[in-house]
Chain A
Amino acid sequence: MIEFIPQPLQTRVTANARIRRARRLPIPGEVSGALGMRIGAQDVIARAYPPKMRRALSLTRVIGVTEAEVPKRLLKQVGDPVEAREIIIAKPINFGVQRLVYRAPEAGQIAAIQGSWMILDIYGQPHDVPALYRGTIVHVEPRQSGEIEAQGALVQGAWGSSIPGQAAKEAVGVIKWLNKAQDWILDPESIEADARGAILIVGGGVTEASLQRAAEIQVGGIVVGSLAPELRQTALQLKFPLMVTEGFGFYPMSAPVYDLLTVLSGQEAALNGCYTPRGAAAARPELFVPLAVSKMLPSDAPREVERLEIAPLARVRGLCEPYLGLTGTLPEEFRLEWIMTDAGTALPAVQVEWQNTPGEKQWTPWSNLELIG
Chain B
Amino acid sequence: MAESPTSILFADIGAAATKVGLLGLVAGQYRILGATRTPTTAAAPYHDVMVGVRQAIMQLQALTGRRLLDRQGDLIQPARADGDGADAFTAVASAAMPLRTAVIGLSRDYSVTGALRAVNSAYAFVEHTIAVDEESGRWGTTAQAGRAGGSSDAVEKLALLQPDVIIMVGGTDGGAVTPLLEMANIVAAIGAALDPTQRPPIIFAGNQDARSQVAERIGSLMELRAVDNVLPALDRLNPGPLQTELENIYRQQRVEKIPGLAQLTAWAPHGILTAADSFTRIAEYLAHKFQLRVLAIDLGAGATTLIHADEAQLKRAIFAEWSVGYGLAQLVDGVGMEKIMRWLPPSFEVGPVHAQLLNQALHPTVTPTRWHDLTALNAAGRELLIKATQLWQDDPALTLRDSDLILLTGAPLAQGSKPAALLLMLLDALDVRGIYSVAADTMGLAPALGAVASLNAEAAAQALESDCLVTWGTVFVPELAPRSGEPIVLNVQVQPARGGRLEAEIKYGSLELIPLGEGEKAQVELRGTGSVRWGKNGTVTGVKNNVFKREVQGGTAGLLIDARGRPLPFIENLERQRDKAQEWMWEAGA
Contacts and interface: CB of A to CB of B under 8 A. Distances in A.
A28 B197 contact: yes
Given A6-B38, A320-B366, A343-B370, A54 B156 contact: yes
Contacts of B39: 6-9, 367
Given A9-B363, A284-B44, A343-B416, A58 B149 contact: yes
Contacts of B361: 277
A61 B143 contact: yes
Given A247-B355, A249-B352, A320-B363, A61 B195 contact: no
A154 to B, nearest CB: 11
A282 B366 CA distance: 19
Nearest to B65: A3
Judged by DSSP, the binding face of A is mixed
Contacts of A93: 146
B148 A63 contact: yes
B38 A320 contact: no
B200 to A, nearest CB: 13
A116 B198 contact: no
B159 interface: yes
B459 to A, nearest CB: 25
B62 A2 contact: yes
B201 interface: no
A219 B190 CA distance: 39
B252 to A, nearest CB: 13
Interface residues of B, number: 86
Nearest to B302: A278
Interface string A309-338: 000000000011110100000000000000
A359 B523 CA distance: 58
Given A4-B59, A7-B38, A100 B373 contact: no
B81 interface: no
Interface stretch (A130-138, A229-237, A261-269, A292-300): A229-237
A9 to B, nearest CB: 6
B371 A342 contact: yes
Nearest to A341: B369
A10 interface: yes
Contacts of A115: 181-182, 184-185, 188-189, 217
A56 B152 contact: yes
A53 B151 CA distance: 12
B418 interface: yes
Contacts of B160: 54
Contacts of A3: 62
Given A6-B59, A61-B141, A279-B97, A111 B326 contact: no
A278 B360 contact: no
Contacts of A121: 193
Contacts of B159: 54, 56, 119
A232 B329 contact: yes
B189 A341 contact: no
Interface in B332-378: 333, 351-352, 354-363, 365-371, 373-374
A280 B259 contact: yes
A56 B190 contact: yes
Contacts of B152: 56-58
B61 A282 contact: no
Given A278-B326, A345-B416, A64 B142 contact: yes
Contacts of B45: 10, 12, 306-307
B151 A57 contact: yes
A367 B333 CA distance: 27
B490 interface: no
B418 A344 contact: yes
A283 interface: yes
A103 B150 CA distance: 10
Nearest to A102: B148
Contact of A228 (B46, B97, B351, B366): B351
B415 interface: yes
Contact of A278 (B43, B59, B195, B415): B43
Contacts of B329: 232
A278 B358 contact: no
A233 B42 contact: no
A31 B152 CA distance: 34
B33 interface: no
B416 A347 contact: yes
A98 B148 CA distance: 13
Given A2-B62, A279-B96, A341 B416 contact: yes
A343 B185 contact: no
A307 B38 contact: no
B95 interface: yes
Contacts of B365: 9, 367
B140 interface: yes
A178 interface: no
Contact of B190 (A62, A112, A368, A370): A112
B198 A28 contact: yes
Interface string B359-399: 11111011111110110000000000000000000000000
A58 B258 CA distance: 40
B185 A114 contact: yes
B548 interface: no
A184 interface: no
A238 interface: no
A341 B43 CA distance: 29
B193 A368 contact: no
B95 A278 contact: yes
Interface stretch (B50-58, B168-176, B273-281): B50-58
Given A7-B38, A7-B51, A229 B149 contact: no
Contacts of B147: 100
B186 interface: yes
B217 A345 contact: no
A118 interface: yes
Contacts of B374: 343
A112 B192 contact: yes
A2 to B, nearest CB: 7
B359 A56 contact: no
A248 B185 CA distance: 48
B355 A249 contact: yes
A34 interface: no
Contacts of A283: 44
Contacts of A321: 356, 368, 370, 373
A258 interface: no
Contacts of A8: 39
B15 interface: yes
B359 A55 contact: no
Contacts of A111: 192-193
Interface string A271-290: 00000011110111000000
B139 interface: yes
A319 B363 contact: yes
A363 B47 CA distance: 30
A159 interface: yes
A123 interface: no
B8 to A, nearest CB: 21
Given A100-B146, A344-B418, A345-B416, A117 B185 contact: yes
A279 B257 CA distance: 9
Given A278-B95, A345-B369, A367-B367, A7 B55 contact: yes
17 contacts: A4-B63, A9-B363, A58-B149, A67-B185, A102-B148, A112-B188, A112-B191, A115-B189, A229-B358, A277-B43, A278-B16, A278-B95, A320-B363, A320-B366, A341-B370, A343-B373, A345-B416
Given A64-B149, A282-B44, 15 more contacts: A6-B58, A7-B55, A53-B156, A62-B143, A62-B149, A63-B148, A94-B146, A112-B191, A112-B192, A121-B193, A280-B259, A321-B373, A324-B359, A367-B366, A368-B366
Interface of A: 2-4, 6-10, 12, 27-28, 53-58, 61-64, 67, 78, 93-94, 98, 100-103, 111-119, 121, 158-159, 228-230, 232-233, 247-249, 277-280, 282-284, 306-307, 319-322, 324, 341-347, 365, 367-368, 370
Query: What 10 pairs between A and B have smallest CB-CB spacing?
Result: A345-B416, A282-B43, A112-B192, A249-B355, A115-B185, A279-B97, A56-B155, A111-B193, A341-B369, A3-B62
